[in-house]
Every structure is written in C-alpha cells, then in structure tokens.
Structure 1
Amino acid sequence: MTALSHLKGIIFDMDGTLVDSGLDFAAMRVEMGLRPGIPILEQLGELSQADRTAKEEILHRHEFEGAKRASMIDGADRLLQALAKEGRPMAIVTRNSTVTTRHTLSFLNIGHYFDIVICREDGPHKPDPWAILEICRRWKFTVDEVVMVGDYELDIQSAQNAGCPSVLFTEGKAPSSVEGNELATHVATHFDELYYLLAPREDSI
C-alpha cells in the first residue's frame, strides 16, 4: 500500500496541474496595472467595483485565450483514466472562471472524469478551505479521506487550512523552487510519481 492508496477522493487543481494554458501571470498583472508577485484575485478584491470590472475583462480575455490553446500536461490523461477505473471520485477546485473552466474541460474532453467542479464564482477561493470542505460534504467523506493535488502554494495552503493531505506537483521543477513546498504532505515532480502515490492498480502508465 502506498502513501495515499487508502484515500477515497482526489481533488485536483486544474491549470498547471492537469492542464497547461500557457498563461503569463506577470504579463497579465502588467496589463491590468497590478502589483507584481501578488495573486491577481486578491488584488482585484481591493478595488472599486468599476475598476475591478475593467480589469476583470482583461483577466477573462487572457484566461479564455489560454483555454483555447490548452493542452494536457504529459501523463495527466493516463492518470485520470487509471483513477476512473478504480472508481474513486475526482473533483476540480480552480481559481479560474466557470466559463473558462467549462471550455477547457470540454475542449480537452476530460470533464466526464470529475464529479464536482468548483470555480472562483462558486464561493471563497483558495487558499480558503471552503471548496475542499464543500466537496467533502457532497461526497460524505471526512477531510482525511481526500487529498488536494496542486502545483501552487495556494493549493497546498487550502489543503492545510482544510486539514487534508496534499500533493505538490512540480512538473519537473525542484520542489524547493516552489513557494509553500514545505507545507505539502507529499511531493511529486512528475506524473509517474503522482501515479504511484495515488496507487492505481495498473503496473505502469
């Protein structure tokens, strides 16, 4: 039995974890006139409604352009197939918009894998634990029966805030180069490592 094989449900971040949309967040901040190095949604939350609306139009444009060119991260589809065969439910928690997320999942034909998809309009977004707790409520699982898999500090923080295990997926980067890596309960640098952490019954991907 591997580290996470006992878990009942798997929660994934989308962009950067399963999907590559090629979003340049630094360029997005520059175009929106936002401060560097600070998450975009948090900065938008500080603005007046008029200013926020104007900047959200820029955000939506970048996100939707990313959705139209999105591709699967190597190994992600094979992992989803293997987990689906096991019958463990899967969910997505993303800070992307509902429109962008639906387009991406449809474009890549992977929406059918996920029982639940929670986007930024649905409630408090990561690092708030609300989405993880809401998924547990719908699945009727306890927080220690699920895992949050993501590539960014906010994913890991949301898991820590919810009290569930987490996997930081670095897509080949050194874990030490990712902010918040020390908060993750597990780390996977490639999908083969993630595959064996989650323990699908097939021998290999």
Structure 2
Amino acid sequence: MNFRSPSCLLEKLAVVRFRSKDGDFHDYFSFKRRISMTALAHLRGIIFDMDGTLVDSGLDFTAMRKEMGLRPGLPILEQLAALSQDERVVKEAILHRHEMAGAERAKLIEGADRLLAALAATGRPLAIVTRNSRETTAYTLDRLKLTPFFDIVICREDGPHKPDPWAILEICRRWQLTASEVVMIGDFELDIQSAHNAGCPSVLFTEGKPPGLVAGSTLATHTAVHLDDLRQLLAPGKDSI
C-alpha cells in the first residue's frame, strides 16, 4: 500500500479555533493532510510514544535542564551522553527523581482509555517506544492499568533512542511486519523523525493545538488534534466501546 499516493492522501483547508496566550480566540488556517480511514484502519501494528501521547506526567523539561546544568532547548539524553561518566551519574540521578515524580502524578490524556480499548478490540498488536527509563515507564503503565494493552515496551535502556529508527524496526522484526504495515504515533518531533527514518507512516498528536504550530507537523503523515479523532481513523466502527 502506498500511503503517499493520491488515493490515500487528500489536502483540505482546515479552520481551527484556539486561545492564544493573551486569552483571545483566533482562527488558525492550515492545509490539513488526511489519510483515508481505510488506509490507517488496515495497518497491522500500532506503536505509541507514552508521555504526552497517552499519559500526561507534567514533566517540566526546562526546569529539569536548568537543575542539571544542561543547555536549554536541546534533548536531555543526547546531552547526558556527551558528559563524563561521573558527571552523567550525578545528572541521571536528577533526571530519575523528576521522572519518578512525574510517574506518581501521571494521568491519562483525555480519550486514551477509549482509544486503547477500541484498538484492543481489533486484535492488532500495540507497542510503546519511549525515551523514559524502564523503571518509570513500567511504574506509569502499571499505575494507570495500561500494561495489559501492550505486547512490547521499548525504553531508553534497550537501544538507540528516537529519532533513531532502531526501536520501530526492532518491533517490526518481532511482529514479523514491514515498516509500511505499522504506524508510529507521538506528540513530539522526535517521534515523527523516528518514523520517517524507519520508513513507516506517522501520526503527530497535538493535544488540542493547531497542527501547524507543532514541530514535526510537516513531516508527519497525518495529524490528530484529539485522541478521539485518532480512534476514528484507527478503529472505525468501534465507537461504542
């Protein structure tokens, strides 16, 4: 299936109403790329990012970088990898403290429970690829009762991190599927870059924000503003679940 063929993609002008920082409402106009429901509904495996896509842990990455003495705006894991072992151990302890605090307060993003229940009913395998640690990921999934939904969970200790395509390709290997038969869903540019590098379709979840204002929207195969929108694309006919 060619996901970029004219039969699968259609461009239409979307109008999104959103509240700016000054409290006023504005209309945001963008060309929204859509995939037909059939194209996504017939994918054979679905891969999710965790934090910011299915759960909200409220992590303040700006504060985390500041406390660790890292440069603002740059990925934390890549900055840690460039440090000496002694420095890295100290800063990883700070990272772990923040991540565990986030795991304690994490809550489901609106629509996550309905989405996962609908997808489980289709019988397709689900996986998670996250840059979080295995300990905090397992705790978060267990605490929110999400663990049973996922066949595979790949964390930062397991191999190269997103945007490297390794995790997606490893999941494809275990599922015995090609990259074109799975989709990567995430809220961050690194998720979409990882999917692009692996050669698989992607969905950028914007959690209510206008897609054109979220990094990664131009590279993503599709964007979803709400998880219920994603359920319509991935599991049509399962709305009653």
TM interval, short-chain normalised: over 0.9
Give the residue type in structure 1 aligned to 2:83: L
- 1:200 is displaced (CA, Å) by 3.8
In the TM superposition, what are the counterparts of 1:149-188 in structure 2 within 5 Å?
149-188=185-224
**Count of matched residue pairs:** 205
Write the distance in 2 (CA, Å) between the matches of 1:168 and 1:180: 7
- Rounded to whole Å, the distance in 2 between the matches of 1:177 and 1:36 is 20
**Structure 1 portions without partners, runs of 5+:** none
Q: Is the 8 A contact 2:118 2:239 kept in 1?
A: no
- Using the size of structure 1 for normalisation, the TM-score is 0.98
Task: List alignment gaps of at least 5 residues for structure 2.
Answer: 1-35
- Closer/same/farther in 2, CA of residues 204 and 37 from structure 1, 3 Å limit: farther
Q: Give the corresponding residue for 1:72.
A: 108
Matched residues in 2 for 1:203 and 1:112: separation?
Answer: 21
Indicate the residue corresponding to 1:142 in structure 2: 178
Q: Alpha-carbon deviation of 1:204? A: 5.3
**More helix per residue:** 1
Q: Shift of residue 193 of structure 1?
A: 1.2
Partner SS state of residue 204, structure 2: strand
Give the corresponding residue for 2:169.
133
Aligned to 2:43: 7
Q: Is 1:35 equivalent to 2:71 in the alignment?
A: yes
TM-score normalised by the chain length of structure 2: 0.83
Secondary structure of 1:180's aligned partner: coil
CA distance in structure 2 between the aligned counterparts of 1:5 and 1:55, rounded to whole angstroms:
42
Counterpart AA for 1:183: L
The one-character-per-residue Cα deviations of 1:138-166 (angstroms, maximum 9, x if unpaired) are 00000000000000000000000000000
CA RMSD, Structure 1 to Structure 2 (Å): 1.0
Q: Which amino acid aligns with 2:53?
A: T
The answer to whether the Cα contact below 8 Å between 2:118 and 2:235 also exists between their aligned partners in 1 is no
